[in-house]
Amino acid sequence: MAAPSNADFVRQLAARVEAGEPAAVATVVRIHGSASARPGAKAVIDAHGRTVFGWVGGGCAETRVREEALVAMREGTPRVIELDLDDEVLGVGMPCGGSMEVYIEPVLPAPKLLLLGHGAIAETLARMARQLEFRVTVNDPLATAERFPTADERILEDPEYAKLDCDADTWVVIATQHRGDYDALRAVLAAEPAYIGLIASATRSALVLERLREDGVDPAVLSHVRAPCGLDLAAATPQEIALSILSEIVQRRRGGSGGPLAEVRRAGGRTGE
C-alpha cells in the first residue's frame, strides 16, 4: 500500500475546514534514540480525538497525542509535547529506547458572528468582524447585499427566527432597534451561544430582561446577556459603538481583562506585544 501523500494530508484537513469542524495537526519535530515515527511525520486528529490521517507513532504514544490534540482544540493554542518512549512507568509505556517531540497545532473554524437586525451599528459590525476573520450572518428583512456587502450569509425572510444557525461557538449581537428585542432574545437564549449582546439603552435593556424574567426565563441564564453590550469607551457614533461591542467580543473570546495594557503589564500581567 502506498504511503499517504501530502495531497492526502491537505485533502483530509481541507475537508474539516470546509465543514466548519475543528481539527488538530500533529507533527513529529524531533526524535532522540529509537522511535517508530520520523521527523516530519504528520497526523490529523478530528474533533472526537480520532486520527483520520497519518501516523506519528503507535500504542500509548498515539493515545497521548490524541489527548493533547483535544486539549489544544479546546484551548485554541498549539503545544509541543515530549514523549518518553523508554520509561514504562513515567513515559507512554513503549520501551523503544528513545523519545520524540511532537508539535500539535489546532486548526479551528472561523468564529461566527450572528447579527439580528440592521442599521449603521450592525453594518459597521459586519464590516469590522469580517476583517477580524469572523464568519458573519445577518438575519433581518433589510439585510441586503447593498447594506451588508461583507456578510457571508444574509437571511431576509425569517420573522420568527426559525432559521437561526446558533450554537456554543456563535457570538450574537441583537440590533433590532427595540421592535424585535424580546423575540430575538427568546430565540437565541436556548442555544446558549458564546455571547449575547443587546444594543439598547440601559432603560430599554432592563425592561426587556424584566419581561423575560416574568415569562419564566431563568435569571441565571439572563445574567449572561450583555445589555447594554460593549465596553465603556464613551462611544458616541455608530462606528464607535460598533468598535466597543466588537472589543468586548474579542476581550471575552481571548480572555483579556479589558483594562489598559500599560496598567496590566505594570501589575505583572500580560507581557506579549
The answer to whether the peptide bond before residue 141 is cis (omega within 30 degrees of 0) is: no
What domains does the chain contain, in order, with CATH numbers?
Answer: 22-107 (no CATH), 112-254 (3.40.50.720)
- Lookup result for grid cell 459597521: 124
Q: Quick one: CA torsion of 230, 73, 187, 189, rounded to 10 degrees?
A: -70
pLDDT category, 90, cuts 50, 70, 90?
very low
Kindly report, residue by residue over 163-198, the tens digit of the pLDDT: 888 888 899 999 998 888 999 999 999 889 999 999
User: Given this model, what pLDDT does residue 160 score?
Assistant: 87
pTM: 0.78
Lowest mean pLDDT segment, chosen from 178-182, 212-216, 229-233: 178-182
pLDDT category, 2, cuts 50, 70, 90?
very low
Residue 14 has pLDDT above 50, yes or no: yes
User: Given this model, what pLDDT does residue 12 score?
Assistant: 85
Find the DSSP H helices in 198-270. Answer: 202-214, 219-222, 238-254, 261-266
The grid coordinates of residue 230 equal 460593549
Q: State the Cα–Cα distance between residues 16 and 44, nearest whole angstrom.
A: 10
CB 204 within 8 A of CB 146: no
User: Given this model, what pLDDT does residue 96 score?
Assistant: 52
Counting DSSP H helices and E strands in the chain, the numbers are 8, 11
Nearest to 153 by CA among 172, 131, 137: 137
Q: State the Cα–Cα distance between residues 47 and 73, nearest whole angstrom.
A: 8
pLDDT category, 264, cuts 50, 70, 90?
confident
User: Given this model, what pLDDT does residue 272 score?
Assistant: 53
